[in-house]
Structure 1
């Protein structure tokens, strides 16, 4: 089978399209013929040896796939050969076939295509865990989403609206913010041209926001934390802007707020029942038309390195997807 391989750590341009043996399912695993694989920011970190998880070389990037079950291993009963499924793999998805732990495999609803299925687990999974489990976001609260046009950011905007919050979307261009407004953001902030703190103060009449969703880090963290309301919750999701910020901890004291870590991968591993329940709720909302992924671009398997480069250069608005065999 063909796969995009990372044989040594480095930039996307050094990945290779190679012939490798097809995987066999171990106990509690299934093998999947990959139809589509979502592209995510952690993929860009994995190939540079900058992520929490460090797969042994060589490996294929790609952590969420949709496809058809080819073979099931021992102790797997909830899916069958020939079934359409989505799965979390961590890595290995930029390939024609992948082995996945059965606990992460779920059937795809009949009216959902492979591209949509492959694009929802990381972004919606992360954002729903953040807003539901970590922030316990309530109807009527105000949610600030930084990096709002990225994959997890747009998911957080949509979920915040669906959960009854008033959403303020912050991003780096007016074009990106226009998409946020179409998905329900009540107000927007272009933090490339506007003062983040002043705009938050204006939108909240000086009160501040109840929840901050921050997948960006860097220079945006401290002004956003200074703009949080009393007993607010600051969600530390990631550091897409590059720098891990250092913050004055006296702000947490003065605001009476919580600084809350969001590590969705660890949540899915340590609390699998809660994670699967979240996915069932997300899939229901998607089939009901209440959530809809914004697809930036669909790439072929040989073009997967270009997808990762676009992700690194922050050109992706919403979700990029690598299509392997097509969606029919």
Structure 2
């Protein structure tokens, strides 16, 4: 069941508000800059339009996508300057025309792609997914884009079942740690790559850790699944994707969802992705029963209603698992929005487990 509030049949004559802001503070990427040069600006607030709500920020994440945007390397980012921020948790403080006043004061999760790094964010009411009140906002935030991504890759693409053996690259990361937990809940055995300093954290999640720096990584991973893996989740891309495909069992599924290995490589942001697409298409043409997919959370968004329903359904299931205590959140740090540079620097350092979260 979707948690998005139904629109009223009547149309209100004016926007309803709880604590409507007069100004908005937001973090702006002015161009390709170092983290400390991300600008914090204040502008006049704009009232909510028809079928819109204004959310007061409670938590927004710092994800790999924003790290790529800072470098001008995210595949379809908007032109500079813009406000990044892939997702957020916030409370409704203003409801526009056509929106029921019952949403005021309630807390929702929203996937935005950009714009979430702000004290107040205006979104379409149809994009809201309610957050259980017993869940902490920062902890819920760690499972918005990460939770949707992991759930859809695991259940909609790879269709992992009890008894499967899966490989998760970057098992200590935001999406990786969520994948591990959801796969274990589904009854799968999980092997996860991570640096040795994060191995205990990976074990605590229920996976067997393998050091991704070992020179014979493919052989080391094959030892844990001699018959191959039923599913491999790879955010690294680059040449390592070839080994990920070779590690598949007959009829196994490779899900690629990033090109982290090219994060600091100069040049076109599109070239690594296009090369990856070409490889996946070639592998899918082979008559060996293996599947190879590239996951894009925005695939299908042109069918707005179906796309929104799927996102909300999947996120609601993830948040329910969190509320029940079956998913363990990992908040690496809570840093004020006004100190966004410090937050980005920390998120990119590779020294933390979990997600860096921006708070008011």
Q: Same fold (TM over 0.5)?
A: yes
Q: Does 1:116 align with 2:139?
A: yes
- Map Cα deviations across residues 164-194 of structure 1 (whole Å, 9 max, x no partner): 11100112x1121211110111x22101125
1:68–1:83 contact (8 Å) kept in structure 2: yes
CA distance in 2, matches of 1:224, 1:57: 35
Query: 1:126-141 maps to which residues of 2 (within 5 A)?
Result: 126-141=149-164
Say whether residues 1:283 and 2:319 are aligned partners.
yes
Q: What TM-score comes out, normalization by structure 2 length?
A: 0.83
Runs (5+) with no aligned partner, structure 2: 1-23, 264-271
Q: Is the 8 A contact 1:66 1:84 kept in 2?
A: yes
| Structure 1 segment 26-175 matched on structure 2, within 5 A | 26-77=49-100, 80-171=103-194, 173-175=195-197
Residue 218 of structure 1: CA displacement? Answer: 2.3
Give per-residue Cα distances to partners, 1:232-267, cap 9 Å, x unaligned: 100011111217365594697374311112111335
User: Is the 8 Å Cα contact of residues 12 and 44 (structure 1) preserved in structure 2?
Assistant: no
Structure 1's unaligned 5+ residue stretches are none
Query: Take 2:328 and 2:349, find their aligned partners in 1: how far apart are those partners?
Result: 24
Quote the Cα distance in structure 2 between the aligned partners of 1:127 and 1:263: 11
Distance 1:22 1:56 in 2: 22
Cα 1:58/1:143, change in 2 over 3 Å? same
Tell me the equivalent position of 1:12: 35
Question: Which residue is equivalent to 1:182?
Answer: 204
CA distance in 1, matches of 2:229, 2:145: 25
CA distance in 2, matches of 1:71, 1:240: 38
Partner of 2:338: 302
> Do 2:284 and 2:291's aligned partners in 1 also have CA atoms closer than 8 Å?
no
| C-alpha contact 1:23 1:98 (8 A) present in aligned 2 | no
Partner residue, 1:225: 245
Which of 210, 216, 219 pairs up with 1:198? 219
- Measure, in 1, the Cα distance between the counterparts of 2:193 and 2:127: 32
- For residues 120 and 24 of structure 1, the distance between their equivalents in structure 2, rounded to whole angstroms, comes to 29
Correspondence for 2:232 among 204, 212, 216: 212
The Cα shift of 1:269 comes to 6.4
State how far apart, in whole Å, the 2-side matches of 1:79 and 1:110 are.
16
Shift of 1:5: 1.3
Q: How many residues align?
A: 321
